[in-house]
Structure 1
Amino acid sequence: MSAVMAVAAVVAFSHRQTPPLAATRLPVEKTQFDSIVHSKAGLVIGGELGKLLYSGDDGKDWTAATVSPDRQALITQVVFAADGLRGLAIGHEGWILRTTDGGVHWKEVAFDEKNGEPFMGAANLGDKVWMVVGAFGRALKSQDDGQTWQPVTLPAGVEDKHLNRIVGSADGRQWLIVGEGGLVLRSNDGGQDWAVEPAFYNGSFYDAIALPAGGWLVYGMRGNAFTQHADGPWQKAEMPGPVSFFGHAVLPDGRILLVGQGSVVATSSDGGRHFSFSRAAGRATLTDIALDASGTGWIASDAGLQPYRVAEMSDASGTSVAGTKP
């Protein structure tokens, strides 16, 4: 595994036997969370010790979801289908959990304590089809809305690579899987067949974005991010410093926010070609971000959750609207 990996990946390979938490309120400001996402239930977060919580009031109050059984294994990502009700939580030891009510209740559908490498990325490919990817080239697909899973055959040479995320275009036809060693896999048929992109970088990619105007942005370690438009060559983005990034948000006005090491937030207003840096509160490794249409929301990190608001938003006409960072 490369020297620098996403926080979730590092923790996922470090097996921990931790006693159950006492039945007290979980301090979300101090707990590591690796994923935060909107659903029909509100905001849903997942992280250390298998914690899955939801909030129906924009993060003011958090309720522990019902998890059956509670394995206390690290949650690396939470994702939902377009309906905001059906979703997956994936993590350490090959753990896959399924929900049908927006994240209020979760039921285990896969777990392998002895031989289960961590899953790092999950996606709904459309209708009842789901796919998860993870360590050592492992990939599974479900055709029955996540209830049962079968192995996916990926191109040769992928089996020793860690696959960090799977991301799809808005129409669900094009997909990317990104991973270590600069690995990018592409599918142009809805995730049926995959091919390896010609190498253009040898470091790890942690995530990708299907750009609103078309094309892709992939990003990862040491401030390396690349864009591709109209199937052209991958172009390196201009980044102020070598900061690794692990999560992102795309605003209604098209701006892209990346979050990563040292509480750094990188912002691009030109489709990912150039980024500027700002800093969220504290000094933490930021793992994910979820914002509403006004640019207000939450950032997840290895030090807990923190509220965040984009410093300046634009309305539909392009007029600037002032904001603040709490």
Structure 2
Amino acid sequence: MYNNLFALCLTTLLLIQSNMVVSRETDDIPDALPKAAVIAPLAEQALFTDVVDMGTAGYAAVGERGHILISHDGQHWQQAKVPVQALLTSVYFTDDQYGWAVGHDATILHTQDSGKSWQLQQFLPKMDKPLMDVYFFDRQLGIAVGAYGMFYTTVDGGVNWQSSFHLSLVSEDDQEYLAELAETDPEAYLLERASVLPHFNRLMVQGEQILMVGEAGFVAVSEDAGQSWQRLEAFYNGSLFDIHRTQQGTLLVAGLRGNVFRSDDNGESWLDIALPVSATLSSIFEDSNGQLYLTGNAGTLLHSADDGQSFRDLSQADGRAILNGLSLANRLLLVTESGIKLTPIGKSE
């Protein structure tokens, strides 16, 4: 079951027909009411997809069935009250109080009390699409992205979310196709516009620059906080699930079948990095000393001490997928398909 859930999260429901378009405007059936997440004694052992440092407030982890857990030390966890049971895929905090989480059914949640309680800002189960990442520049200005090119923005802390479409994120061939449709069949243009974009999997923000990766080798950059975008030339045709800029300024992307690419010229060119494993990779993170870690399927955990030029294998013996992590002194806080783990660096369990 957990392997299936992991695949579902990473591939953003690729088993659904890629040309499926759901129009909420033409569907008069109201969205189902959300059900609150169940407070479960063993929630800490469930599937978790993301974990973040909330600063002085501790750590927050999100996962299946709307589970959000909070910890002050990374070892003892308490389940928060959450008004929805959707699989959550990403969480972000602007400070030690304000945070947002996103997930399936285009769910967006918000907290103002360090993750102790959460309020629902968006829930669209009829869309049957997951949001995959969320970022806030401050307490007001935010972005949430996901499957089938979902792109939402807010300027009021999520009180209102606006769906956005950027033609520059569409491939050149599809741009020409859409331009013809816009002139000949405006209604068909709106329908097709919702199906030509790839899945957006992860955002990486530095100042006003945003880099975004996704399905089929998609990489795009914005230099103005997401107002305009440039799609970079493709260098790989498989899905990319994470992007990271190291302390030395190097860019790394990771994705399907153990593919990792490295760029030291801000994405102008990319070098394929050889790895000791071929499992699908889900995340890249770095500690304060510049030590890099890759996590992925089948317990994959890789470490680099040379800015991503090479990696050594620290994979976990239990074989459970690791979806993300943080470095805490001499330990790693990992979120996996079988729960939250705090493990000494270099120890295989």
TM-score tier, shorter chain, comes to 0.7 to 0.9
Does residue 1:236 correspond to 2:275, yes or no? no
Give the drift of 1:47.
0.7
User: What pairs up with 1:195-234 in 2 under 5 angstroms?
Assistant: 195-231=230-266, 232-234=268-270
- Amino acid in the other structure paired with 1:99: T
Larger gyration radius, structure 1 or structure 2: 2
Are the counterparts in 1 of residues 91 and 100 from structure 2 also a CA contact under 8 Å?
A: yes
Does residue 1:36 correspond to 2:72, yes or no? no
Are the counterparts in 2 of residues 236 and 273 from structure 1 also a CA contact under 8 Å?
A: no
Does residue 1:165 correspond to 2:202, yes or no? yes
The partner residue of 1:149 within 161, 165, 183 is 161
- Amino acid in the other structure paired with 1:95: T
- Amino acid in the other structure paired with 1:134: G
TM-score by length of 1: 0.85
Q: Which 4+ stretches in 1 moved above 3 angstroms?
A: 9-15, 19-24
Are the counterparts in 2 of residues 84 and 102 from structure 1 also a CA contact under 8 Å?
A: yes
Does residue 1:285 correspond to 2:321, yes or no? yes
TM-score by length of 2: 0.80
CA displacement 1:3-49 (0-9 Å, x = unmatched): xx85524576789xxx98865513413x1111111114211111110
CA gap of 1:254–1:156, structure 2 versus 1, over 3 A, is closer
Instruction: Give the equivalent residue in structure 2 for 1:107.
Output: 119
Q: Which has more helix, going by share of residues?
A: 2
Does residue 1:59 correspond to 2:59, yes or no? no
Query: Quick one: distance in 2 between partners of 1:66 and 1:23?
Result: 8
Instruction: Indicate the RMSD between aligned Cα atoms, in angstroms.
Output: 2.6
User: What pairs up with 1:1-326 in 2 under 5 angstroms?
Assistant: 7-10=8-11, 24-29=40-45, 31-39=46-54, 40-60=56-76, 62-67=77-82, 70-81=83-94, 83-126=95-138, 128-154=140-166, 155-157=168-170, 159-169=196-206, 172-231=207-266, 232-292=268-328, 294-311=329-346
Query: Quick one: distance in 2 between partners of 1:128 and 1:206?
Result: 26
Secondary structure of the equivalent of 1:202? coil
Secondary structure of the equivalent of 1:136? helix
Query: Quick one: distance in 2 between partners of 1:212 and 1:290?
Result: 15
Query: Quick one: distance in 1 between partners of 2:321 and 2:331?
Result: 20
Give the drift of 1:191.
2.1
Are the counterparts in 1 of residues 314 and 348 from structure 2 also a CA contact under 8 Å?
A: no
- Amino acid in the other structure paired with 2:232: E
Are the counterparts in 2 of residues 288 and 300 from structure 1 also a CA contact under 8 Å?
A: yes
Give the drift of 1:141.
0.7
CA gap of 1:122–1:274, structure 2 versus 1, over 3 A, is same
Give the drift of 1:199.
0.5
Give the drift of 1:84.
2.9
Query: Quick one: distance in 2 between partners of 1:103 and 1:21?
Result: 14
Q: Percent identity?
A: 29
- Amino acid in the other structure paired with 1:8: C
Unaligned runs of 5+ in 1: 312-323
Give the drift of 1:131.
0.4
Secondary structure of the equivalent of 1:105? coil
Are the counterparts in 2 of residues 13 and 118 from structure 1 also a CA contact under 8 Å?
A: no
Give the drift of 1:189.
2.1
CA gap of 1:116–1:148, structure 2 versus 1, over 3 A, is farther
User: Which stretch has the larger CA shift, 151-160 or 230-239?
Assistant: 151-160
Q: Which has more strand, going by share of residues?
A: 1
Unaligned runs of 5+ in 2: 1-5, 17-34, 172-195
CA gap of 1:298–1:276, structure 2 versus 1, over 3 A, is same
Secondary structure of the equivalent of 2:303? strand
- Amino acid in the other structure paired with 1:50: G
How many positions carry a matched residue from both structures? 302
Secondary structure of the equivalent of 2:105? helix
Give the drift of 1:277.
1.2
Are the counterparts in 1 of residues 255 and 280 from structure 2 also a CA contact under 8 Å?
A: yes
